[in-house]
């Protein structure tokens, strides 16, 4: 008998699961239906800021695969179809043609994240934009085009905030960035975040740090200013970059276990608490391999890996998603920023006794043309020298070095062990001591001084 | 009583050892004398091709530290001073002022490598250049300047050969590259080396592969042609890039144990077979952590690490150099190339049963401006999927990705485990599946098909 697979959510996680399952099981063995409430499947949500900035010239370029490509795999993709309930053996679907039930034997929940929307007066004014979906990006571009705003306020100084600040600069707007914290990029230590604040100021962005959002003023329904605890900031357009929370409401309503982070709980094979029900992507919580605690991190690369694992498992194989070490990368104009593991504050919160060392180096041999600055911060355990986290701020060629640190972290290396790592060296690519090795060396030397 | 440290060789390994020892022990406790037969200490030999190419505009930029800086540390650097013999407790030094003995309690041998010189007729003709020392580089630049050669022949298609081919292209010469093997870059698998051959041809280099050097023709003492098993190649200048062997003759003559590779044998703390005698740099053999066999690899980054370990140990600390995984990187104009671990042939020679997978991807999200091509080859063990080696050929942003693979290799990861690695992702830095992850995924999938 043909087994029935239903997928809720047609983005990275859901469609990876569907594709992998199909790869291993023919239509006669497994029927697949994927419900997507929007108009697009399988697109790069992470690319939206770059669409707005103009790096990507056509929204279609962000679409990895079109519905027709899934149809060719005999995956029944239904757009504008929102799953509004999960019951034993069937889901309830709301579509333009009405509400109906779709039966399943296996279910994948890939409902993504919900962007945080501030609960303040004026939040529904025209001109206040989120940038979560492709539709959001297209709408925002249309708004820029039609209204030619002069002053942009970006609320939230995380990754999306940073990327949208750059996008607004590129459109020639005056940009103000508001964040309730005393620094942008809260996942960085204050000193490294300070370098990002400096970079923002160099690019002409006005920073309003330590100011909480209180509301929006509008005229004829259109936003005219942002009110914060620090005063009024005139605005012709507002971008919200306040992060997302796991969209786990549907699962919760169905009685599926939700974790302390608000994300759906799964095991390493991405099974939820309900038999035959899997979950993947921004809607789940995952395991932080350094803090050994659950975390919810919305990131396309995790969603893809988790979705693939689900698909392999449904397909009869065996695959796991063991967790994350918290790697992330971004840039603001020419300034690159990356991090992995725990920040100092996160390490302390996780019960470690951390110390840290910041080193300055260059991306190539100092004498080689195009050598750029790179600052590397290493956070390690004071008793053992075990690497707990790393942060990089620099220019071209700096950020991707975080990967070697992420793999070292994955293996619980000590900074002393890391000084021996056989990283590639040639003058156009690194100084004879790669910045990662210099950072490890200085961290190992500092450890020696604690005795 | 003050202990006496003598260092033979004033480049990366020797001077790192001297500096580290001084850092930990004051002059009253340890006197340090370093003998260098040339005119320069502590310079980047790896930078010489880039000096010749014009990327580096002043030889002095390659000098990391000048003798005066060591004198300030109370390290007695003696230039033009060649150690010609090691005896119990003293070395014999030949200097412009004559021969003398210098006593030691601790000795560091850091005599570097000897460039392979072809034993063929005409090899001493004017216009045939090595590029090992800073003097070599300066001499070569002078030759280019004075004689304005039109046709260059580079003998040897390894890293130096590749870099010197680019240098000669940059000077506007017609360049021919000769190698006795059927491919350039013998440390790569033939298919990946073929991409480098293609890149050389695209840059206008004539390749003469599978041709053995037989001799040089000259006129009035100056080289006019290169003779190979394939015929005569007219040449106004010849660059030798035939590799180096460990310069272990002095140690051997003193009865210090030499390994099967011809390099000085040491333990992990860089102690030789003789009590109180240490060795570091291109003159030693090291341990390959994947093949578990001794290798001799001349590379500045190893020399620095080994020298540092020696210095820490002499200084009273504890440091080791556990070995290498064979990481290397280079470029030819816009083509980047990197490798780590074992090639397929090396893996077979080491007794593994390897398989390999080549994947093609991009350095950034495919839709992001500046996304460049990258080909990644993974070599893994057929029975376990354990990573044995990796090779990358691509454009800007490709090569340094080898580092994440080198760290994974260091830890003996399987390709299946590697698919979960938390590598950084954002559209300007990687596709949602980083090329390293795609390569691991395809290698893991291929492994599944062997059952």
User: What is the predicted pLDDT for the residue at B451?
Assistant: 59
CA dihedral A310, A315, A317, A318 (to 10 degrees): 20
Q: Look at residue A349 and tell me whether its pLDDT is greater than 70.
A: yes
User: Which residues, in sequence order, are CB contacts of A106 under 8 Å at separation 6+?
Assistant: A3, A4, A5, A6, A276, A277, A278, A314
Question: What pLDDT digit, counting tens, does each position of A191-207 carry?
Answer: 999 999 999 999 999 99
B368–A404: do the CB atoms touch at under 8 Å? no
Question: What pLDDT digit, counting tens, does each position of B193-215 carry?
Answer: 999 999 999 999 999 999 999 99
Q: A117-242 and A328-448: same fold?
A: yes
Chain B CB contacts of A60 under 8 Å are none
Residue B74 near residue B52, CB atoms below 8 Å: no
Question: What pLDDT digit, counting tens, does each position of A306-324 carry?
Answer: 999 999 999 999 999 999 9
User: What is the predicted pLDDT for the residue at A127?
Assistant: 97
Chain A CB contacts of B404 under 8 Å are 403-404, 406-407
Residue B268 near residue B96, CB atoms below 8 Å: no
CA-to-CA separations, B376 to A13, A223, B361, in angstroms, rounded:
25, 50, 8
Q: Chain B: give the shortest CA distance to residue A410, in Å.
A: 8
* Top mean-pLDDT range of A117-121, B60-64, B407-411: B407-411
Q: Chain A: give the shortest CA distance to residue B269, in Å.
A: 12
Which of 162-221 (B) contact A at CB < 8 A? none
Q: Chain B: give the shortest CA distance to residue A95, in Å.
A: 30
CATH number of B3-45+62-113+245-314: 3.50.50.60
B301–A406: do the CB atoms touch at under 8 Å? no
Domain A3-42+62-113+245-314, classified CATH 3.30.420.40, yes or no: no
Both structure tokens of B161: 């050969």
Phi, psi of A46, deg, nearest 5? -65, -15
B410–A421: do the CB atoms touch at under 8 Å? yes
Which of 365-384 (A) contact B at CB < 8 A? 365, 367-369
CB nearest to A407's CB, from B320, B368, B407: B407
b/e sequence A216-255, b meaning 16+ C-beta within 10 Å? bbbeeeebbbbbbeeeebebbbbbbbbbbbbbbebbeebe
Q: Is the ipTM of this complex over 0.85?
A: yes
CA-to-CA separations, A397 to A333, A364, B61, B399, B428, in angstroms, rounded:
13, 8, 21, 11, 11
The nearest alpha carbon in chain A to B434 belongs to: A301
Show me where the domains of chain B are located.
3-45+62-113+245-314, 117-242, 328-448
b/e sequence A174-199, b meaning 16+ C-beta within 10 Å? bbbbbbbbebbbbbbbeebbbbbbeb
Q: Look at residue A338 and tell me whether its pLDDT is greater than 80.
A: yes
Residue percentage of chain A with pLDDT more than 90: 95
A331–B55: do the CB atoms touch at under 8 Å? no
Q: Look at residue A382 and tell me whether its pLDDT is greater than 80.
A: yes
Chain B CB contacts of A448 under 8 Å are 317
User: What is the predicted pLDDT for the residue at B299?
Assistant: 95
Q: Look at residue A396 and tell me whether its pLDDT is greater than 90.
A: yes
User: What is the predicted pLDDT for the residue at A41?
Assistant: 87
Both structure tokens of B267: 């333990």
A402 CB within 8 Å of a chain B CB: yes
Long-range own/partner contacts, residues A433-437 (CB < 8 A, 24 or more apart): A433/A361, A433/B301, A433/B304, A434/A401, A434/B301, A434/B403, A435/A359, A435/A361, A435/A362, A435/A363, A435/A374, A435/A376, A435/A392, A435/A398, A435/A401, A436/A376, A436/A401, A436/A404, A436/A405, A436/B403, A437/B301, A437/B305
- Right CATH for A328-448 from 3.40.1260.10, 3.50.50.60, 3.30.70.270, 3.40.605.10: 3.50.50.60
Chain A CB contacts of B419 under 8 Å are 305
Choose from A427, A431, A435, A449 for mutation: most chain B CBs within 10 A. Answer: A427
Tell me which DSSP letter residue A268 carries.
T
What is the total residue count of chain B? 451
Residue keyed to tokens 């990662």:
A436
User: What is the predicted pLDDT for the residue at A381?
Assistant: 98
User: What is the predicted pLDDT for the residue at A451?
Assistant: 59
User: What is the predicted pLDDT for the residue at A1?
Assistant: 83
Residue among B262, B327, B318, B320 nearest B290 (CA): B327
Question: What pLDDT digit, counting tens, does each position of A59-84 carry?
Answer: 999 998 888 999 999 999 999 999 99
A406–B404: do the CB atoms touch at under 8 Å? yes
Mean local confidence (pLDDT), B348-352: 97
Mean local confidence (pLDDT), A207-232: 97
d(CA B384, CA A193): 43
Q: Chain A: give the shortest CA distance to residue B74, in Å.
A: 22
b/e sequence B212-236, b meaning 16+ C-beta within 10 Å? ebbbbbbeeeebbbbbbeeeebebb
The nearest alpha carbon in chain B to A61 belongs to: B367
Q: Chain B: give the shortest CA distance to residue A370, in Å.
A: 10
A330 CB within 8 Å of a chain B CB: yes
User: What is the predicted pLDDT for the residue at A45?
Assistant: 87
Which of 415-444 (B) contact A at CB < 8 A? 419-430, 432-434, 436-437, 441
B50–A305: do the CB atoms touch at under 8 Å? no
Determine the longest span between alpha carbons in chain B, in angstroms. Answer: 72
User: What is the predicted pLDDT for the residue at B45?
Assistant: 87
Residues of A annotated catalytic, as ranges: 46
Chain A CB contacts of B55 under 8 Å are 368-369, 427-428
Chain B CB contacts of A340 under 8 Å are 422, 424
Confidence of residue B263 (pLDDT cuts 50, 70, 90): very high
Which of 50-109 (A) contact B at CB < 8 A? 50, 55-56, 61-62
Mean local confidence (pLDDT), B296-304: 96
Both structure tokens of B81: 């001073």
d(CA A194, CA B133): 43
User: What is the predicted pLDDT for the residue at B40?
Assistant: 87
Domain A117-242: CATH class, spelled out: alpha beta
Q: Chain B: give the shortest CA distance to residue A103, in Å.
A: 31
Question: What pLDDT digit, counting tens, does each position of B152-193 carry?
Answer: 999 999 999 999 999 999 999 999 999 999 999 999 999 999
Chain A CB contacts of B44 under 8 Å are 365, 367, 427, 432
Alpha carbon B64 to its chain's center: 18
User: What is the predicted pLDDT for the residue at B227?
Assistant: 98
Which of 270-329 (B) contact A at CB < 8 A? 299-301, 304-305, 308, 317, 320-322, 324-329
d(CA A188, CA A70): 40
Mean pLDDT, chain B, as a whole number? 96
Residue A246 near residue A279, CB atoms below 8 Å: no
Which of 15-34 (B) contact A at CB < 8 A? none
Assign residue B281 a region (left: φ > 0; alpha: ψ between -120 and 50; beta: otherwise). left
CB nearest to B50's CB, from A289, A406, A427: A427
d(CA B102, CA A363): 41
Chain A CB contacts of B329 under 8 Å are 424-426, 429-430
The nearest alpha carbon in chain B to A44 belongs to: B432
């Amino acid at each position: 008998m043909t087994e029935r697979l239903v997928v809720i959510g047609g983005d990275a996680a859901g469609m990876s699961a569907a594709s992998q399952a199909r790869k291993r099981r023919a239509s006669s063995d497994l029927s697949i239906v994927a419900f997507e409430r929007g108009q697009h499947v399988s697109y790069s949500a992470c690319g939206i800021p770059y669409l707005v900035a103009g790096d990507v010239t056509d929204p279609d370029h962000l679409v990895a695969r079109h519905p027709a490509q899934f149809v060719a795999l005999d995956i029944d993709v239904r757009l504008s179809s929102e799953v509004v309930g999960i019951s034993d053996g069937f889901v309830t679907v709301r579509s333009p043609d009405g509400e109906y039930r779709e039966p399943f034997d296996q279910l994948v929940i890939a409902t993504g994240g919900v962007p945080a929307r501030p609960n303040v007066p004026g939040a529904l004014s025209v001109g206040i934009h989120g940038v979560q979906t492709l539709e959001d990006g297209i709408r925002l571009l249309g708004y820029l085009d039609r209204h030619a705003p002069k002053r942009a306020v970006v609320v939230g100084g995380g990754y999306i905030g940073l990327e949208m600040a750059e996008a607004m600069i590129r459109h020639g707007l005056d940009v103000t960035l508001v964040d309730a914290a005393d620094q942008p990029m809260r996942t960085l230590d204050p000193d490294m975040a300070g370098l990002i604040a400096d970079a923002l100021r160099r690019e002409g962005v006005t920073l309003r740090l330590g100011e909480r959002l209180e509301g929006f003023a509008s005229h004829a329904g259109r936003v005219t200013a942002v009110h914060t605890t620090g005063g009024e900031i005139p605005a012709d357009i507002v971008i919200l970059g306040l992060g997302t929370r796991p969209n786990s409401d549907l699962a919760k309503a169905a009685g599926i276990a939700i974790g302390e982070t608000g994300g759906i709980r799964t095991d390493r094979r991405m099974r939820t608490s309900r038999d035959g029900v899997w979950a993947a992507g921004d809607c789940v919580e995952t395991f932080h391999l350094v803090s050994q605690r659950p975390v919810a991190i919305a990131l396309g690369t995790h969603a893809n890996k988790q979705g693939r694992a689900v698909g392999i498992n449904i397909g009869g194989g065996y695959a796991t998603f063991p967790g994350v070490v918290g790697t992330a990368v971004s840039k603001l104009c020419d300034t690159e920023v990356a991090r992995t593991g725990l920040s100092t504050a996160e390490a302390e919160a996780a019960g470690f006794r951390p110390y840290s060392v910041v080193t300055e180096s260059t991306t190539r041999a100092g004498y080689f043309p195009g050598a750029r600055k790179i600052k590397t911060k290493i956070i390690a355990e004071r008793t053992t020298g075990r690497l707990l986290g790393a942060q990089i701020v620099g220019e071209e060629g700096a950020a991707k070095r975080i990967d070697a640190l992420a793999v070292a972290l994955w293996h619980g290396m000590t900074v002393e062990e890391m000084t021996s790592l056989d990283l590639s060296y040639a003058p156009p690519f690194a100084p004879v001591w790669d910045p990662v090795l210099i950072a490890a060396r200085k961290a190992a030397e500092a450890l020696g001084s604690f005795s």
